[in-house]
């Protein structure tokens, strides 16, 4: 009987912790939505020149900001949805898109950091590469890989991004290589 009551207490704690985590995630996602709506609204207003004229560089930078605000809003929606569904309901939103275009967009998103650290991004890609995948999720993976490469590269270094297609199976391999210290051997597994 002691064993059963101990298991029940542990199970009750896990259920309570899960409820707290769910409530916390609901609050966080809700609290992130409002400032992003305001930021997007003002950014669009500036982009539409409601507050004065813009240079072409400013317009490009603001367009990149709007695109990234949209990505953040999509991530928040996905977090919100994830909290309300079982993992078995997870579905990819696949579509046909140009992977090289997505790589270029990702690099442009990080251009201020690239310039600030005097880094060079060397793209070893085809002109276009049509793939069928979940564009948003592939974009998140690319952004994480590029952000890590930029973060851990020494100044004045080169970051190489390449795409390679499998002749036989049609798979695509994307590589992001940098000159950072890398993952310690003990942590690689």
Whether 156 and 118 have beta carbons less than 8 Å apart is answered as yes
DSSP code for 182: -
Q: What does the pLDDT read at residue 183? A: 78
Residue 124's closest CA among 86, 79, 162? 162
Q: What does the pLDDT read at residue 45? A: 87
Q: What does the pLDDT read at residue 40? A: 83
Q: What does the pLDDT read at residue 83? A: 62
Parts of the chain with a pLDDT under 50: none
Rounded CA-CA distance 128/170 in Å is: 15
Kind of pairing, strands 130-134 and 172-177?
unpaired
User: Tell me: the pLDDT tens digits for 125-159?
Assistant: 888 999 999 998 899 889 889 988 988 899 999 99
Please report which residue ranges of 48-116 form alpha helices under DSSP H.
56-84, 99-109, 111-116
Residue 113's closest CA among 75, 148, 163? 148
Q: What does the pLDDT read at residue 34? A: 66
**Sequence-distant contacts of 79-82: CB under 8 A, at least 24 apart:** 79/25, 79/28, 79/29, 80/25, 80/26, 80/29
Rounded CA-CA distance 71/67 in Å is: 6
Q: What does the pLDDT read at residue 41? A: 82
């Amino acid at each position: 009987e002691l064993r059963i009551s101990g298991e029940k207490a542990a199970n009750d704690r896990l259920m309570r912790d899960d409820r707290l985590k769910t409530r916390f995630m609901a609050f966080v996602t809700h609290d992130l939505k409002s400032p992003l709506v305001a930021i997007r609204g003002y950014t669009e207003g500036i982009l539409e020149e409601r507050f004065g004229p813009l240079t072409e560089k400013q317009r490009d930078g603001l367009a990149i900001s709007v695109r990234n605000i949209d990505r953040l809003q999509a991530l928040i929606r996905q977090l919100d949805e994830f909290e309300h569904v079982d993992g078995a309901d997870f579905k990819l939103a696949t579509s046909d898109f140009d992977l090289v275009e997505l790589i270029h967009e990702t690099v442009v998103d990080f251009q201020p950091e690239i310039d600030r650290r005097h880094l060079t991004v060397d793209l070893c890609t085809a002109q276009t590469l049509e793939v069928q995948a979940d564009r948003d999720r592939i974009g998140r993976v690319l952004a994480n890989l590029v952000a890590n490469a930029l973060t851990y590269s020494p100044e004045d270094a080169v970051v190489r991004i390449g795409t390679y297609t499998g002749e036989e199976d049609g798979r695509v391999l994307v590589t992001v290589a940098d000159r950072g210290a890398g993952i310690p051997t003990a942590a690689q597994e």
